[in-house]
A and B are shown apart, each in its own frame.
Chain A
Amino acid sequence: MKGYNFGFLDEVSKREIRRKILKAIAIPGYQVPFSSKELPIPRGWGTGGIQITLSIIGPDDILKVIDQGCDESVNAVNIKKFIKAVTGVELTTDTTEATIIQTRHRIPEESMTEKQILVLQVPYPEALRVFEPSEVETRRMHAEADYARMWLYLYEDIVKFQEISIGARYPVLVNNRYIMDPSPIPRWDIPKLNMAKTLYLFGAGREKRIYAVPPYTDVKPLEFEDFKFRVEDFRGKCCMICGSSDTFLDELIDGSSGERIYICSDTSYCKKRRLVRSEL
């Protein structure tokens, strides 16, 4: 784009963000404060993720952007348009082709490799915020690994509802040290964080924090011996387009019949499956 630097941000800002990313990788799960610039895209619309992507992207990268698993959703379209305009990089919808994938609320179904980076957009970087509003206090709790109130919160939920009320954004313990907010991915995606081949970078623009899960890091969802972590239950349901019964499904209400129907949340994977099926 005329009049703007490659990747929109000036090089000094990019360098600062890259340094913060390195620190985040060195301390898995720890939230590193960063300056967080304003972008032409609003706060809360993925500005943390975008700043990470813009700081690490080069002319040869191939970018995929998804929102809720979908390449065509409003947020993904917006972000793609912007990053394409300021970098000119190649875009793709294929998970395996991309070198950088920026995502909101999902991790792709297809497994990723060491050569790829997944950038997650984060609205609330602080997993402890659900019960403690003060940043001073939550930083202290992390520093001292004082997580008793987190466990108590989960325990009280079970007592009240015989169920944990946290749906998405389920807290995890990273590298046996920091409790981390995995961003609002469904619980379905949590196991994908553990011992993954791919580098996961998390950016919270409004809250000005960057954190990371490096490849091959231990990531465990919080659970009790007698109350185990469980992912969303899609038993007996399958995607009405590709027939998949082992992917995260979006529940839709059919406009004409009022019936519940299910389709894959990961639209590009769904499309691939359909192709494979039609070739058979």
Chain B
Amino acid sequence: MGYEAVKGGHEAIENACRLFVYERVKNVKTPIKVEQIKDELYLLVDRVMSEASLYAPQLAALAIKQAAGDCFEAVFLLRAYRTTLPRLGYSLPIDTRNMRVIRRISAAFKEIPGGQILGPTSDYTLRLLDFTLFNENKKTINKFINEFLSELDLDVEEFPMNFPKIVDILRNEGLLVENFEGDRTFSDITKQPIIFPAKRCEVLQAMSRGETGGLLLLAYSNMRGYGDIHPTIGELRVGYVPVYIKENLLSGEVISIGEIKVTEAEIIAKFEKQEGKPSFTLGYGLCFGHNEIKAISMAVLDRAMQSKNPQMISENQEFVLAHIDGVESMGFCNHYKLPHYVTFQSDLDRLRKAQKEYKERHK
């Protein structure tokens, strides 16, 4: 009987889950080690940690392996794990002025105090497929590392421990003004849902765990013409920042619990009249790991959403924040694959009646 197939059934579902594992391993000669994903696919690991909002490179690499490289799935796995962990406390605010910088650039000034530090980036590479990687092995890697390091003139003594902020210079000269309106108290979006209009700390939290592609799409719409903020990258920095917590609430003793890699973008937008005096305005982005597109998109959207008179979708806080979470959007998109025959039956009933009415009126 034809109708039995539509009911799915327990066994078929179990087998579909196992087939998913089978598909990943069926042709595998040497299984990828989680460690290898963590080391070699570190940018993917960074992205997964950032969108899952859990800083755990080892677990992110595991999620990538388990998800067969599907970024949305990997983020979902890690986020679902995160939700089982109790919130033990909050770190103290991190001052990114103390970042151990590996990359730091400004597009606003040619020369900046501390200098432009290009750091590791694919920005200036020619995007030609490197066929030698087909045969990459420990020997070729060591050869490259030895040659590269021996050619460098490494004087660690001279390397500064921290760098001044470009936006501080503009702030001090009164060229840049931030006057964020509204509630400045802290809230945690994993404990209380956002009620619009959202506080700025909620806006930044939501974007920091947002899906990179979604943030880019909305930010790009603003950059391209559906918006008018004309961003300049005041400073983009990537590096490691220490995380401190108050270990003892009574004595107030502060301890470091390690460091995390973050990307921070500060964009300077077209000037606006602020309390009479025209000034530049600032957009801010910060996310886990090395993900410059995400941090810049965040900063552009942060600034766009401060528009006094929102016209474009990237300026509409509710629109942006309600649609950037990858775990939510991918889940809802996938849910359309579930059976909908009851609702469809209701729609069929309405359409048949409407067609009947139409026929009677157009006899």
Contacts and interface: CB of A to CB of B under 8 A. Distances in A.
Nearest to B360: A162
A118 to B, nearest CB: 16
A228 to B, nearest CB: 13
A265 B348 CA distance: 15
Interface stretch (A71-79, A211-219, A272-280): A71-79
Interface residues of A, number: 67
Contact of B339 (A37, A74, A166): A74
A11 to B, nearest CB: 9
Interface stretch (A108-116, A144-152, A193-201, A253-261): A253-261
Contact of B332 (A206, A253, A263, A267): A206
A35 B191 contact: yes
Given A73-B8, A77-B10, A206-B331, A255 B2 contact: yes
B240 interface: no
B338 to A, nearest CB: 5
A123 interface: yes
B13 A77 contact: yes
Interface in A78-136: 78, 104-106, 123, 134-136
A253 B195 CA distance: 46
A249 B342 CA distance: 9
A51 B6 CA distance: 27
A186 B80 contact: no
B83 A39 contact: yes
A44 B332 contact: yes
B86 A70 contact: no
A164 interface: yes
B169 to A, nearest CB: 38
Name A's interface SS.
loop
B343 interface: yes
Q: Which 9 A-B pairs have the closest CB atoms?
A: A43-B331, A44-B335, A167-B346, A42-B331, A167-B347, A44-B332, A255-B2, A162-B357, A168-B343
Interface of B: 2-3, 6-10, 13, 76, 79-80, 82-84, 86, 190-193, 195-197, 318, 322, 327-328, 330-335, 338-350, 353-354, 357-358, 361
11 contacts: A44-B332, A68-B339, A72-B10, A77-B9, A161-B358, A163-B357, A167-B349, A186-B346, A206-B328, A251-B341, A265-B345
Interface of A: 4-5, 8, 10, 12, 16, 33-40, 42-45, 47, 67-70, 72-75, 77-78, 104-106, 123, 134-136, 161-169, 184-188, 206, 208, 232-233, 248-256, 261, 263, 265, 267
